[in-house]
Chains A and B, each alone.
Chain A
Amino acid sequence: MLEIKNLTHVYGDGFKALDDINLRVDAGELVSIVGPSGCGKSTLMRCIAGLQRPTSGEIAMDGNRLEGVPGNLAVVFQDYSRSLYPWLTVRDNVALPLRRRGLGRSARRGEALLALESVGLADAAQKYPWQLSGGMQQRVAIARALAYKPKLMLMDEPFGSVDAQTREDLEDLLLRVRGHDGMTILLVTHDIDESVYVGDRVVVLTRSPGRVCADLPVDLPAERDQVGTRELPAFVHLRAEVGRLIRGDTRSPQATPAASSSPRAVPAAPSGTPISSGKE
């Protein structure tokens, strides 16, 4: 349902963040996008979300070329404390985007409460986001995305700002809610274990300029468990594979090259160039 063709993005100062990205995502899939720092993951996310126009290339959802922000897309940002509005209660934060779906006030509130229940935060509805812990705040952000009932949910390093235990809980939460309404999920992360644990597929980006160097199916049972799944040989192998690709050691024989980009040993990249994710 999502088709990215020849996506390239060069920033104003000449810094090439993404180079000829090609990607296909089917409905209902959970695709992890993983790569080293500065590989353009966030840039890719922002382009898909309509927050940035790529310098060239095409993004299409269900066959329609995207111009600007698509209507049925939700984003969970890494920085939950800045993404949730401190002047609204948790419930109102979750309900805010629902006006776009044309719901009346009590309907919006009802939907918001349902979404909060599904992430286990029904009790926190009347609190303010800043009164909650980091993990809970991110769950509110997830609830907000879920209540919106998008076709595509983008998650930009959503668990990067929480501690390891909370991260595991949130990963499992994600696996629980992913079935909602056949939603497609794109998860950007730098955590290799996470990318394999939650994903149906792992797309590996190279160091900048970011290119797709591998697109690996995750051959693990659908039922995943933090301890059990991570012990499985398939997990260990795949994780190691991804790790190697990211470090650019060798070109893996297992790697399935994506449509037109040729995977190759990653050359030495310009270091120290930060990804300015269009925030200025």
Chain B
Amino acid sequence: MTVLRTALRYAGWALSRIWLVIGLIVLWELLTRSRDDPFFPPPSEILPVLREIWFSGPADHLFLTSKALDDFTPSLAHIFVGWLAASFFGIVLGVALGRSRAVSEYLDPLIEFGRAIPPPTLIPFFIIVFKIADPMYIAVIAFGVVWPVLLNTIDGARTVDSVQLDTAKVFGVSGWQRLWQVILPAAAPKIFAGLRLSLSLAVILMVISELIGAVSGIGDHLVNAQRSFQLPEMWAGILLLSILGLLLNGVFVLVERRVLSWHRGAQRLEG
């Protein structure tokens, strides 16, 4: 009896959270059905197509079709490599600049200029340098990702609490120990904010970089579907990207929650 009750309570909880989403999907279905416009197929048409293209494969391949592997592998690889490399670089440089007032004063104008350049506008130049190959996509993604991470890290490193720094100084905590044990943790909340921002940016840039002559990849699929007016397939691609973004963000939030659990705890009390 209690199992049933717990199940019902859980169902109730889940329902109370996503009733709006379900409602909107139903609304979407009804609207598109009533209009019968080929450019806006109803979800009931899109979902089977999505499943058909990427998830109707053998069970031992996690139901992934071979097209799924062809599409997901390069796209995800580009995202991860680009995001990781740019994040690492952004954090390292950001901490260095955040801690050095003089240097950052010189570089601030350059950074402001760099971040203002919309990454897609530089794609032709990335193609000239890297040709249409893996490094090109990674470079486009990295160029976009680095700015939010860099700026947030500089801010975080710059605004470490002075009492925390005084404490470190008095107790002889300096150099690498101070970096690892004081500055990075203190800046971590802001750094993570920058990382989360840049993650969604990475997905967008992945698609954009693939719009220009990729051989495979999710963005490439989108472009092909668009050109051949296969609307459900195109929508399926859009939906897939949304799911991807949702998943990546979800994983990131889980990691962030774990790493920054102290921060949430401390903040809750301050409020």
Contacts and interface: CB of A to CB of B under 8 A. Distances in A.
Contact of A51 (B166, B173, B188, B262): B166
Interface size class of A (residues with CB under 8 A): 20 to 34
A262 B162 CA distance: 36
A86 B262 contact: yes
A128 B181 CA distance: 15
Contacts of A51: 166, 169-170
A260 interface: no
For B167, B182, B262, B265, which residue has the most chain A Cβ atoms within 10 angstroms?
B167
A74 B163 contact: no
Given A79-B163, A82-B161, A86-B266, A100 B170 contact: no
B164 interface: yes
A29 B262 CA distance: 39
A124 B48 CA distance: 56
A155 B27 CA distance: 66
Interface string A115-141: 000000000000010110000000000
A127 to B, nearest CB: 10
A130 B265 contact: yes
B169 A50 contact: yes
Interface string B164-180: 10110111110001000
A160 to B, nearest CB: 14
Contacts of B131: none
B163 A82 contact: yes
Interface in A39-88: 49-51, 69, 71, 73-75, 77, 79, 82-83, 85-88
A85 B164 contact: yes
B172 A71 contact: yes
A197 interface: no
A279 interface: yes
A99 B171 CA distance: 10
Contacts of B102: none
B205 to A, nearest CB: 32
Contacts of A82: 161, 163-164
B46 to A, nearest CB: 45
Interface residues of B, number: 22
Contacts of A131: 265, 269
A240 to B, nearest CB: 35
A77 B171 CA distance: 12
B164 A83 contact: yes
A219 to B, nearest CB: 33
A85 B181 CA distance: 9
Contacts of A49: 166, 170
Interface string B17-31: 000000000000000
B161 A74 contact: no
B185 interface: yes
Contacts of B169: 50-51, 69
A28 interface: no
Contacts of A280: 162
Interface string A97-127: 1011000000000000000000000000000
Given A82-B163, A86-B265, A130-B262, 14 more contacts: A69-B172, A71-B172, A73-B170, A75-B171, A77-B166, A83-B166, A83-B167, A85-B185, A86-B263, A86-B266, A87-B263, A96-B171, A100-B172, A148-B171
Interface of B: 161-164, 166-167, 169-173, 177, 181-182, 185-186, 188, 262-263, 265-266, 269
Interface of A: 49-51, 69, 71, 73-75, 77, 79, 82-83, 85-88, 96-97, 99-100, 128, 130-131, 144, 148, 279-280
29 contacts: A49-B170, A51-B170, A73-B170, A74-B171, A77-B163, A77-B166, A77-B167, A82-B164, A83-B164, A85-B181, A85-B182, A86-B262, A86-B263, A86-B265, A87-B185, A87-B262, A87-B263, A96-B181, A100-B172, A128-B266, A130-B265, A130-B266, A131-B265, A131-B269, A144-B171, A148-B171, A279-B162, A279-B163, A280-B162
**Lowest 7 CB-CB distances: which A-B pairs, in order?**
A97-B171, A82-B163, A87-B185, A130-B266, A86-B266, A100-B172, A87-B262
